[in-house]
Amino acid sequence: MVYIKIFLLILIIIYFDIRKKTHLWIKISDVILNSSVIFLFIYFIVQIFNPSYKVFVDSVGVEYKIYYNIFYVNQNINIFSYKFIRNNGVFFEPGMYAVVLLYSLIINLFFSKKNNIRLFILFLNMITTFSTTGICMMFFVIGLKYFSSLQKRGLVRHIKIIFLPIIMSFLIYGIFYVYYGKVNNLYTNNGQGSYLYRIDDIKNAFQLTLIKPFQGFGVGNFNILRLYTSIPERYYEGPACASNTSNGLMIILYQLGLINFVIIFYMYFVFIKNVSKIINNSIATFSICLFLPVTLFSEPYSYTLFALMFFAYGVVYTFYNNNSTILTNNIVYENYTKN
């Protein structure tokens, strides 16, 4: 019932957002960018200090190192024998911070005037999260943007022949190295590789979906996972069960069922269809099309306000007909009429 009330509130906000043409989905990226400047500055400062104290947070079942009540971390990573703190910004987990950074990057690359300083800030923040999915998607989206600009100058064919094999070799090596590290427990907070957790989540979700394929087990029913996991110590009584689930797509699938799964992503693509009218760029459309499925596959943010925003946009857009769109001076102007 709580989820329904929250969604109805978001629906009302999005309705007025579309009516007033304020474009909340673009403004959110600006909020992410501005706050990331602060988090990046604090991140580099705390590297030279020891944590003030440690706190165990019951809601997520994790111990956090607190730095002077302004910054907290719960995960480190070892790369080439060096230990790094993972930047999680204001979030409980670095992967979720990488999700919102990626969203802001896509908006700034394709829907805003080019600003190298803004892009560089987002780039540095993403690197400090050490999120495999976030970093790989960041380079993929930047690559798409780069090749789309080269295509206009007729240089794509030559670039592909010369540099693409080199870039792909480095990318494959980087992905292999990071995932190898995860399997070998480079993360220090729980003694299990996060890669193994992700495989376990996919397997569990498919088993549960086969039991109730259409209706699902209900919103927020995470305790059922304890009956099917091959790593039982991951799940325990209380709300922290949710934090131990790594795959948002699988959460939607087994909790809401196949029918609702299809409806949710149909609404997301309705949102994308309307967004694509703002800028006539197939690369931009493709990038934002990949965003939600890929990030949900690696982070369990299915019921967050951020995820519900996209669904709400799809619902409201379904009842509106977008007649015209003009993009001028980094501000989007649109006219809507009711069906």
Q: pLDDT tens, 38-81?
A: 999 988 888 787 777 788 766 566 778 887 777 888 777 777 77
- Angle of helix 24-46 relative to helix 2-20, nearest 10 degrees, comes to 110
> Who wins on pLDDT, 176 or 138?
138
Please write the tens of the pLDDT for every residue from 243-276: 457 788 888 999 899 999 999 999 999 999 888 8
> Who wins on pLDDT, 161 or 90?
90
With residue 111 as reference, give the H or E element that holds it. none
With residue 336 as reference, give the H or E element that holds it. strand 331-338
Give 336's contacts (C-beta < 8 A, 6+ positions apart).
18, 19, 320, 321, 322, 323
Please write the tens of the pLDDT for every residue from 164-216: 565 556 555 555 555 555 544 444 444 445 566 777 778 888 888 899 988 88
DSSP-derived 3-state class of residue 91? coil
Do the Cβ atoms of 252 and 261 come closer than 8 Å? yes
- Taking the CB of residue 8, how many other CB atoms lie within 10 A of it? 11
Instruction: Identify the pLDDT of residue 192.
Output: 46
With residue 212 as reference, give the H or E element that holds it. none
Q: What predicted TM-score, i.e. pTM, was given to this entire model?
A: 0.80
DSSP assignment of 263-331: HHHHHHHHHHHHHHTTS--HHHHHHHHHHHHHHHHHS--TTSHHHHHHHHHHHHHHTEEEEEEEEETTE
Do the Cβ atoms of 167 and 131 come closer than 8 Å? no
In the chain, the percentage of residues whose pLDDT exceeds 90 is 23
Mean pLDDT of 147-166: 59
Give 276's contacts (C-beta < 8 A, 6+ positions apart).
284, 285
Q: Does residue 11 have a pLDDT over 60?
A: yes
What is the rounded CA–CA span in Å between residue 336 and residue 18?
Answer: 8
Q: Give CA separation, 300 vs 22, 222, 243, 244, 259, in Å.
A: 29, 11, 8, 9, 20
Radius of gyration of the chain (CA): 21
Instruction: Identify the pLDDT of residue 306.
Output: 92
What is the rounded CA–CA span in Å between residue 267 and residue 287?
Answer: 17
Q: Which two tokens stand for residue 244?
A: 């131990």
What is the rounded CA–CA span in Å between residue 76 and residue 109?
Answer: 30
pLDDT band at 283 (very low <50, low <70, confident <90, very high): confident
